[in-house]
């Protein structure tokens, strides 16, 4: 059986697209899984993450762009590694290191992107929920002409996150082997796990086993 067919779905638990991008490589069960292993993986992930639409990336699914897509994937892997180091440093410091070279790196990538502003109509619902109307809004559109433009879309998400996130609440899951990051946007900021269904339940089970083991040891001594 193809290993990809047994691979779990990518995790979107970061509460931000930039952190979900970091989480596109993880070790949920000790074994490392990269959801951006191939060019096709990258395109699929971008659509699932909401960074691109299928119509935007469909042009790059053909053989004509295979070599360019492979080179772009290498660049995106390197960008992900650098961004992970930056986020880890900022999370440990509880603030953005404003002199860090990663900020210049992101700006360099953004400068290569093709984008323009466009006035469009956006549905707006009345405050009482009674009616929906259309209002004018200004949108930034990123154009894709080559696979290299995909990195600019990712860099834009990273830039938005860095400028808006409260790094006091950017955390790595406390699961012993978990590598997933999340932005704790809970009301009391007490989130510890990537998800209760995975690492939270594992921690509960481990604590339960430890309690039972301690009880047995005490009973044996008595």
Residues in the chain: 222
DSSP annotation of 176 = T
Assign 186 to helix, strand or coil: coil
Residue bearing tokens 């086993």: 209
Mean pLDDT of 77-91: 97
B/e letters for 57-87, b = 16+ CB within 10 Å, e = fewer, are beebeeeeeeeebeebbeebbebbebbbebb
Taking only the tens place, the pLDDT of each residue in 15-57 is 999 999 999 998 866 688 999 999 999 999 999 999 999 999 9
Torsion of CA 19, 24, 25, 27, to 10 degrees: 80
Cβ–Cβ under 8 Å, residues 120 and 176? no
Q: For all residues of the chain together, what is the average pLDDT?
A: 85
Distance CA 144, CA 150 (A): 7
Neighbour tally for 142: CB within 10 Å: 17
34: left (phi over 0), alpha (psi -120 to 50) or beta: beta
Distance CA 51, CA 177 (A): 28
Domain ranges of the chain: 3-112+145-171+178-183
Share of the chain above pLDDT 70, in %: 82
Looking at per-residue pLDDT, the higher value among 101 and 121 belongs to 101
Torsion of CA 208, 211, 215, 218, to 10 degrees: 160
Q: Which residues, 6+ apart, have CB-to-CB distance to 51 below 8 Å?
A: 17, 153, 154, 157
Taking only the tens place, the pLDDT of each residue in 164-217 is 999 999 999 888 778 899 999 988 988 888 875 667 455 454 443 454 444 455
pTM of the model: 0.80
């Amino acid at each position: 059986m193809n290993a990809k067919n047994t691979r779990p779905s990518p995790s979107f638990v970061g509460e931000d697209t930039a952190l979900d991008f970091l989480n596109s490589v993880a070790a949920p069960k000790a074994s490392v899984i990269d959801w951006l292993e191939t060019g096709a993986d990258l395109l699929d992930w971008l659509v699932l993450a909401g960074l691109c639409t299928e119509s935007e990336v469909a042009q790059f699914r053909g053989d004509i762009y295979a070599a360019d897509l492979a080179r772009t994937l290498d660049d995106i892997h390197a960008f992900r590694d650098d961004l992970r180091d930056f986020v880890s440093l900022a999370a440990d410091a509880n603030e953005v290191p404003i002199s860090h070279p990663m900020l210049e790196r992101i700006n360099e990538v953004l400068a290569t992107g093709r984008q323009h502003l466009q006035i469009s109509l956006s549905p707006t619902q009345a405050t009482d929920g009674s009616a929906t109307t259309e209002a004018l809004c200004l949108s930034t559109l990123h154009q894709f002409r080559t696979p290299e433009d995909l990195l600019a879309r990712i860099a834009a998400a990273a830039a938005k996150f860095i400028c808006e996130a409260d790094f006091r609440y950017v955390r790595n899951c406390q699961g012993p082997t978990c590598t997933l990051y999340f932005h704790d946007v809970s009301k009391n900021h007490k989130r510890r796990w990537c998800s209760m269904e995975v690492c939270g339940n594992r921690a509960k089970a481990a604590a339960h086993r430890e309690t039972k083991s301690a009880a047995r040891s005490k009973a044996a001594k008595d």
